[in-house]
Structure 1
Amino acid sequence: MGELSRNPGGGGATASAGAARWARKRWAAVMQVGGETAATVADSPWTPLAMARSSLTWRSAIYLAASLALGLGCFVGLTVGLTLSLALVIIWVGLPMLALMMIAWRCVAMLERQLVRAAFGVRIPSPYRRLPEGRNPLTKLKAMAADPATWKDLVYLALLFPITLVEFVVSATVWSATGMMLAMPVIVAVDGGVEVSVGFASYWAGNPVEALPISVFGLLALVLAMYVTRVMAIGHSAWARLLLGSSVSQAENVELRKRTEHLRASRARGVDAAEFERRRIERDLHDGAQQRLLSVAMDIGRARAKLDDDPEGARALIEQAHSGTKEAISELRDLARGIYPAILTDRGLDPALSGLAGRASVPVEVDVDLPERPPAAVESIAYFIVAESLANIAKYARATRATVRVAREDRWVVVEVIDNGVGGAVARPEGGLAGLADRAATIDGMLIVDSPPGGPTIVRADLPCTW
């Protein structure tokens, strides 16, 4: 995953590490299917005071009291709509009606997922299979009918009315009783006296003061009502996740599909980067070493022609050809180093990065802490990230020093390049920083650029050692 971000508020290694942890969590959230994005009724505190202060308690109570209307509407709509559609199938009118009913109950199920999230804090990811591309509605309807999630939605909505009816009766009973007991002093003040009977016992409250003990019992009833609401909310959300959410196999398929799409995009960018690099190498060979060697061949030819008549002129041409040969060798060595440095293969990252630091335009401190050599792909990407970063420092940063750190953190190799330059680095499409992100993305790595105006600039890459 290539991740480019800026933190205008500050810099430093701490900011970079925090940004990397944020990026890792974000990537885990992208790759995770299901779960909650915030506190839910299931993991909220169960103490009375915490429940009273939590908005989830009151949102759950409102949903449990009001969802009966949705359940009743679904029951009536499904009963009438499906019965009428099936009865009219014999004259073909029922088929489009069934298709419309299927679309309607899927839309209601989508609405219910949002209501469950708003009421209970539970996020239910969409379980539907991807519809075929194109404009043919029959193909899309066929795919919807073949999706098991469509029929699970139907089962959920068919059972919604009896379940919400029970929830409504229980909620109305406990909350109305609680409200009456809490408001008993006001009721007594208005009516002039109330007799409260519980079983064989009765209590007469003739004035608001005598009604205060009933309000105390109302506080206990409030705690009971919150617990009852919490239990019903957990049960309803679990049932909703069972029928409206993805099954285990569906969740795995969704996760694999997301990962496949991500890898496909990363590989495509990697292919583009490789093709661009191939064209660059071809251009460098044509414009550099090839022209240099051609000039050497011409000098040698001229020297051979003058060898008998003008030995001194031939000697000068040979010296010129020798100098050109050394320059061509130097250019070829630089070109080969840009493709894959031999020192990286032979000795690893520490000597290779020290060589880069020695050729840098500013003093560079290198710190490599790797207990063992990472995979070759990780070493190569880490090397070119440092090389590109140091080249950018020389061109744009106006820095006086830089630091390169490479370390192993769990299953990640962390590469960090920090300079004290002017900052303001921005990743532009097809630019050097974007190219670094694409390199990291080819192995599911992450790249973070933190470069506020005024500096410092931090380029950090987290590269996995396993993928």
Structure 2
Amino acid sequence: MATEYGHGYGGWGGSEVAEERRHRLPAGLRAPFEARTWREFTYILLGFPLGILMFTYAITMVSTGVGLLVTFLGVPVLAAALAGSRGIGALERARARGLLGVEVATPEPLRTKRSGAVEWMGAVLRSSTSWRHLLYTVVQFPWAVFSFVVAVHLMVFGWGLLTYPLWFWAFPMWAGQDGLLLYGGESHQVYLDNPFEITVTALVGLLITMASPWIVRALTMVDRLMVVGLLGPSRLATRVVELESDRGVVVDTAAADLRRIERDLHDGAQARLVALAMDLGLAKEKLAEDPQAAARMVDEAHGEVKTALQELRDLARGIHPAVLTDRGLDAALSAVASRCTVPVRVEVDLPAARPAPAIEGIAYFTVSELLQNVSKHSGATRAMVDVWKVDDRLMLQVADNGAGGADPSAGSGLAGLAERLDAVDGVLVVDSPVAGPTRITAELPWRRA
């Protein structure tokens, strides 16, 4: 696999610098005016009336369904309650996405073996996703009430006290009192009416206003957790989807490898052996009438045999090198490094117990692909391969002092390599700034043979 070096990370750092320059105010002063704060506050405001509706719907439908379970009508009522909760969940995911910026994947759909109302009701009642959605409609309401009360009081009091110097004059003009009543009894009242008290009131309002966005953010963090935990796909379903995707990657990779082997055999060794058979046939015909010409043709055929054998050895090495099976990763990676056009230092620190052959093979081909990239595209003058074990993980690292700029998101060979590692729960991390150096780390599970 070939990776194009020299592009990919060019403008990433500049955008962050520009973003920082645009925000000259500290975050504490900027937060009360940010759109994010008001979107989160809007989310809390909408959560209160929606919570009332969701809670009422859930309690009414469930209590009705449970009460009717003595008859057959209770089952469809409960199924309708769960189905409605799934619809509410879709609405809440959209609200969280629009106001909180939370991207929650749609949970797995209902799976029915046959069509029909009875089959559908059974699928709804068996689905853990449906019950998690119903739980959300119940637990969201008390939290929505608490969040609404806290957020509204903070916002109203904060902004009200902060702007008090702008509207305190309304009290003596329209309310018939000196200012905002701080304390009032039968014989004594305290009003905020002199310049000092007005200033202190505004400062208190400023403190509340500056603290409000962070408290609102903390409140909506709980909402984020509830939406992700109760309205998103379950961990088991997510893992099933990942395994299905990984299985597809493994199948595609195996098919691509088989096509490559077939192509190499057809275009390389097979074609050379066909030509060799034809040359030997001609030499046989000339053996009686022109022995010298026949000898020359046999000599040429001998050279073709050596070339075909070398091609078959290279092909066998590409499938699974014998040195890897016989002597392990240390010797196999040293052999790969010796064929690299760039000087490579190899350090392998592994225990005597070897990982599973499949893991060894993936590790070998990962380093081989990365060293090919170093040879072809990096422009490096030296490279390094490190292999070691940490807990139950096999770690590989290939580094070079080349041009850098390797980007796995650009559709290069690194993306395919990352998919192959992901198929066995591995990870590929690329650190390759423009102008280098490049450091690529692969992490694989250590599975005993």
TM class by smaller structure: 0.5 to 0.7
* Residue 147 of structure 1: aligned partner: 127
> Distance in 2 between the 1:102 and 1:116 partners?
21
* Residue 349 of structure 1: aligned partner: 333
> Distance in 2 between the 1:4 and 1:130 partners?
39
2:181 counterpart of 1:182: no
Counterpart among 296, 310, 321 of residue 298 in structure 2:
321
Give the AA of the match of 2:273: A
Give the AA of the match of 1:214: T
Verify the 8 A CA contact 1:124 1:245 in the aligned structure 2: no
Instruction: Show the 5 A alignment for 1:200-239.
Output: 202-205=189-192, 211-222=198-209, 229=216, 232-234=219-221, 236-237=223-224
Verify the 8 A CA contact 1:128 1:150 in the aligned structure 2: no
2:272 counterpart of 1:270: no
**What per-residue deviation string (whole Å, max 9, x for no partner) do you get for residues 295-335 of structure 1?**
325524653xx2xxx6xx33441342133123212222123
SS for the counterpart of 1:413 is strand
Counterpart among 265, 269, 273 of residue 289 in structure 1:
273
Which blocks of at least 5 consecutive residues in structure 1 are unaligned?
19-46, 358-363
> Distance in 2 between the 1:449 and 1:171 partners?
43
**What per-residue deviation string (whole Å, max 9, x for no partner) do you get for residues 249-303 of structure 1?**
x42x245324412421221122212321342244234321243045325524653
Which blocks of at least 5 consecutive residues in structure 2 are unaligned?
14-26, 173-177, 355-359, 389-393
Q: Please, what TM-score do these two structures have when normalized by structure 2?
A: 0.66
Q: Please, what TM-score do these two structures have when normalized by structure 1?
A: 0.64
Aligned length: 400
Counterpart among 359, 365, 372 of residue 342 in structure 2:
365
Residues 1:180 and 1:257: Cα distance change in structure 2 (over 3 Å) = same
Verify the 8 A CA contact 1:296 1:321 in the aligned structure 2: yes
Instruction: Show the 5 A alignment for 1:30-69.
Output: 49=29, 52=32, 57-69=37-49
SS for the counterpart of 1:371 is strand
Identity over aligned residues, as a percent? 18
Counterpart among 293, 299, 305 of residue 283 in structure 2:
299
SS for the counterpart of 2:348 is coil
* Residue 368 of structure 2: aligned partner: 383
2:383 counterpart of 1:405: yes
2:226 counterpart of 1:257: no
**What per-residue deviation string (whole Å, max 9, x for no partner) do you get for residues 208-257 of structure 1?**
776444333433544675676456445555555664467xxx42x24532
Residues 1:387 and 1:315: Cα distance change in structure 2 (over 3 Å) = farther
Backbone CA RMSD of aligned residues: 5.2
2:179 counterpart of 1:194: yes
* Residue 107 of structure 1: aligned partner: 87
Verify the 8 A CA contact 1:448 1:460 in the aligned structure 2: yes
> Distance in 2 between the 1:118 and 1:154 partners?
22
> Distance in 2 between the 1:61 and 1:389 partners?
52
> Distance in 2 between the 1:207 and 1:235 partners?
42
Residues 1:171 and 1:447: Cα distance change in structure 2 (over 3 Å) = closer
Give the AA of the match of 1:326: G
* Residue 39 of structure 1: aligned partner: none
> Distance in 2 between the 1:92 and 1:184 partners?
63
Give the AA of the match of 2:299: H
Give the AA of the match of 2:333: L
Verify the 8 A CA contact 1:447 1:462 in the aligned structure 2: yes
> Distance in 2 between the 1:77 and 1:136 partners?
27
**What per-residue deviation string (whole Å, max 9, x for no partner) do you get for residues 385-429 of structure 1?**
656886xx5xxx9x9x77573422775434578999xx9xx9999
Cα displacement (A) at 1:146: 1.3
Cα displacement (A) at 1:168: 2.8
Cα displacement (A) at 1:128: 3.7
Instruction: Show the 5 A alignment for 1:24-173.
Output: 49=29, 52=32, 57-78=37-58, 99-116=79-96, 123=102, 125-126=104-105, 128-132=107-111, 136=115, 138=117, 139=119, 142-173=122-153
> Distance in 2 between the 1:256 and 1:279 partners?
34
Verify the 8 A CA contact 1:300 1:321 in the aligned structure 2: no
* Residue 30 of structure 1: aligned partner: none
Verify the 8 A CA contact 1:381 1:439 in the aligned structure 2: no
* Residue 307 of structure 2: aligned partner: 330
> Distance in 2 between the 1:279 and 1:237 partners?
52
SS for the counterpart of 2:132 is helix
Verify the 8 A CA contact 2:247 2:423 in the aligned structure 1: no
